[in-house]
Structure 1
């Protein structure tokens, strides 16, 4: 399973890259605003800076909701770098835009997916990635992992190449569950990725090894 980090923070992206497990980045307007990135030119430069850090795909979201405007905006985003994946909302005009981009070899990420039917439409339109939001489903007492399972079954039934990008991942158990189910990618905060490092037995075991080593060297 690929690991993407969901942020616009260059510091966090660099830290994840330095660990050696980062495969890509997802962003959105809210994450850009959180970093104080405002204005079209600044946003474009920030996307380029992200691409210079990470080796894999970088999702850049369109703001428009109308077909023609999404096409214009998406083409402009795709020109930033070959790593850019145009992030398109799951709406009627969005599906049309995904079809347009897929026919022209521009990678897309269909976002805000909450049902198997939406994921099926995105795959038929040729989306590179489909982003079911597992955490937001959990927030309304719905099992987000069931959605991942349903999409995995449908895609495997018909050989769709669209990758399941589990989004709105909140914690390490989300990551483990996505890996067990067969999500192709997960995207979440750096904290969730780093939490995979932790286990109390690892900590106590290391402490014992170091203590024993210190005793041996004192003799």
Structure 2
């Protein structure tokens, strides 16, 4: 399963990319606004650092606006994936971009019906938001299972990109289902890295090693 970082924070992107963990990045207008500064400079830097797919989102809601923005976003690099909303105009733009060889990530997907339509429109990625479904009393991971089953029945090339990830268990559950990609905040990735028994074990190893070095020093 590919791991994308859902952020526009350059420090976090560099940190986890240097560990070899990142296959790509997803951003949106909210994440760019959160970081402040010049969003154009941020997008340029992200595409310079990351060699995998980088989803950059349009802010227009009409077809013509999406097409104009999407083409400008592609100027940031060949790995840019244009992120379009799951709307009628968004799917129309998705179809047009796909026919031109420009990959699209259809975002804000909350049903298997929407995922199916996005796949038929030619999306490279479909992004179901599982955490937001959990927030309103649904089980978001059930949607991933449904989409996986639907896509498996047909020859869709569209990848399932699990979004709105709230905790490490979401990642494990998505991987067990067979989702193609998970995009997650830096805070969730940090939790995946750590474990109290790892810390305890490392502390014990170092203590034993230091004790041995001390004993050898005393014998010398």
1:200 positional shift: 2.0
User: Secondary structure of 1:158's match?
Assistant: coil
CA distance in 1, matches of 2:180, 2:98: 19
Q: TM-score, normalised by structure 2?
A: 0.95
What residue is the counterpart of 1:11 in the other structure? 11
Task: Indicate the residue corresponding to 2:195 in structure 1.
Answer: 199
Aligned 8 A contact 2:83 2:105 in 1: yes
Moved over 4 A (4+): none
**1:87–1:108 contact (8 Å) kept in structure 2:** yes
Contact residue 44 and residue 77 of structure 1 kept, 8 A: no
Number of residue pairs aligned between Structure 1 and Structure 2: 215
Structure with greater Cα Rg? 2
Give the structure 2 partner of residue 69 of structure 1: 65
**TM-score of the two chains, using structure 1 as the length reference:** 0.95
Give the aligned partner of residue 173 of structure 1: 169
Q: Secondary structure of the equivalent of 2:153?
A: helix
Q: Which moved more, 1:150-159 or 1:192-201?
A: 192-201
Question: Where does residue 154 of structure 2 map in the other structure?
Answer: 158
Alignment equivalent of 1:126, drawn from 122, 125, 128:
122
1:1-219 matches, within 5 Å, as 1-37=1-37, 42-219=38-215
2:193 is paired with a residue of what secondary structure? coil
Q: Which consecutive residues of structure 2, in runs of 5 or more, have no partner in the other structure?
A: 216-220
Q: What is the alpha-carbon root mean square deviation over aligned residues?
A: 1.0
Unmatched 5+ residue regions in structure 1?
none
Shift of 1:45: 2.9
